[in-house]
């Protein structure tokens, strides 16, 4: 324990939650933290800096929210020296959890605008280059306020914001706002968002309008086209002939199965068993060949 900055308890009303807006809300993490606090109490103190007779909360917002949800009114804290230095330390080493890119961006924005740190100063303190710092700042400053609100509430992922919505906003802010509203109401997977944005970038204005108007319909259409293309490829060439033949065999076997009751003659039944045994051997051999020739690439293709 640091004897110069001992751990103490601070009432909630003495806390300044200045950096609350830089933290993404995560209900699952909040429930886990609340359960831990209810069982063991607050183990790790939060980090604060002094501001007159109050304390600016630097790190420990999840602990604060969990304590508040548990009906507590005090937070264990440890005092740090210097608000900007504490933000730098939080960006360099974060013991609670890895900060999301957009959370890092929010803290860098505070350092740049509130404390007038240059890109070079921030980069030097973080052990990064200036382009990394600028990309982080561009991320948070290129997103409209409504989109940032959705990200910080956890209804839109940080990944979607940084990889899709931020570049989309720089190209067309209204499309970014409209798409955000759509995926909040009907979320798309990461893969679907990548697909959507890739097609958006390559499309005409008219097609872009249709993509943004109904993202779910667009994704469904793309999937149907891919399935149709794969089916057409299977039906072409020697593979297509092979599949056609095996479908004919299956159809004949099903037809024979339905007519098996007419085999009254003993000799016919005997010969039938011989032919069925031969057919069974052929099917087993085909299955064996398919298994021996199988590999991850072929499996993925046929799936």
Write out pLDDT tens, residues 207-217.
999 999 999 99
The answer for residues whose C-beta is within 8 angstroms of residue 155's C-beta and 6 or more apart is 184
61, 17 in Cβ contact below 8 A?
A: yes
Range with lowest mean pLDDT among 99-103, 140-144, 279-283: 279-283
The per-residue pLDDT for 297 is 42
Could you list the beta-strand ranges (E) of the chain. 7-11, 15-16, 46-51, 54-59, 74-79
Question: Which tokens belong to 59?
Answer: 């790190």
103, 22 in Cβ contact below 8 A?
A: yes
Antiparallel, parallel or unpaired: β 74-79 and 46-51: parallel
CA distances from 163 to 48, 89, 123 (A): 33, 26, 22
Question: Which tokens belong to 101?
Answer: 């890119």
Fold of 1-82: 3.90.1530
pLDDT digits (tens, 9 = 90+) for 1-37: 454 668 899 999 999 999 999 999 999 999 999 999 9
Rg (CA), the chain: 31
CA distance 281 to 271: 16
φ and ψ of 219, to 5 deg: -60, -40
pLDDT digits (tens, 9 = 90+) for 116-140: 999 999 999 999 999 999 999 999 9
pLDDT digits (tens, 9 = 90+) for 145-185: 999 999 999 999 999 999 999 999 999 999 999 999 999 99
CA distance 59 to 220: 43
Residue 296 has pLDDT above 50, yes or no: no
Question: Which tokens belong to 300?
Answer: 């993925």
Average pLDDT, the chain: 87
Going by pLDDT thresholds of 50, 70 and 90, the confidence category of residue 279 is confident
Question: Which tokens belong to 90?
Answer: 């939080």
The per-residue pLDDT for 75 is 97
Query: How many other C-beta atoms lie within 10 A of the C-beta of residue 132?
Result: 16
The domain spans of the chain are 1-82, 236-302
pTM: 0.69
22, 106 in Cβ contact below 8 A?
A: yes
């Amino acid at each position: 324990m640091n004897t110069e900055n001992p751990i103490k308890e601070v009432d909630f009303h003495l806390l300044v939650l200045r950096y609350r807006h830089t933290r993404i809300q995560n209900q699952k993490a909040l429930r886990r933290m609340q359960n831990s606090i209810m069982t063991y109490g607050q183990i790790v103190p939060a980090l604060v800096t002094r501001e007159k007779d109050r304390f600016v909360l630097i790190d420990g917002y999840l602990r604060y929210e969990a304590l508040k949800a548990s009906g507590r009114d005090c937070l264990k804290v440890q005092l740090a020296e210097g608000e900007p230095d504490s933000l730098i330390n939080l960006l360099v080493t974060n013991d609670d959890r890895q900060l999301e890119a957009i959370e890092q961006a929010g803290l860098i924005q505070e350092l740049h605008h509130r404390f007038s740190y240059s890109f070079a100063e921030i980069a030097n303190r973080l052990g990064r280059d200036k382009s990394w710092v600028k990309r982080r700042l561009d991320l948070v400053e290129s997103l409209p306020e409504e989109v940032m609100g959705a990200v910080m509430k956890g209804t839109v992922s940080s990944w979607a914001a940084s990889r899709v919505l931020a570049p989309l906003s720089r190209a067309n802010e209204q499309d970014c706002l409209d798409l955000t509203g759509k995926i909040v109401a009907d979320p798309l997977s990461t893969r679907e968002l990548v697909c959507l944005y890739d097609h958006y970038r390559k499309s005409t204005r008219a097609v872009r309008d249709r993509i943004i108007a109904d993202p779910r319909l667009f994704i469904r259409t793309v999937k149907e086209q891919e399935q149709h293309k794969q089916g057409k490829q299977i039906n072409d060439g020697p593979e297509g002939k092979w599949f056609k033949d095996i479908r004919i065999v299956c159809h004949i076997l099903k037809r024979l199965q339905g007519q098996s009751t007419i085999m009254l003659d003993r000799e016919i039944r005997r010969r039938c068993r011989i032919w069925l045994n031969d057919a069974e051997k052929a099917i087993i051999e085909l299955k064996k060949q398919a298994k021996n020739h199988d590999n991850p690439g072929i499996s993925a293709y046929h799936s």
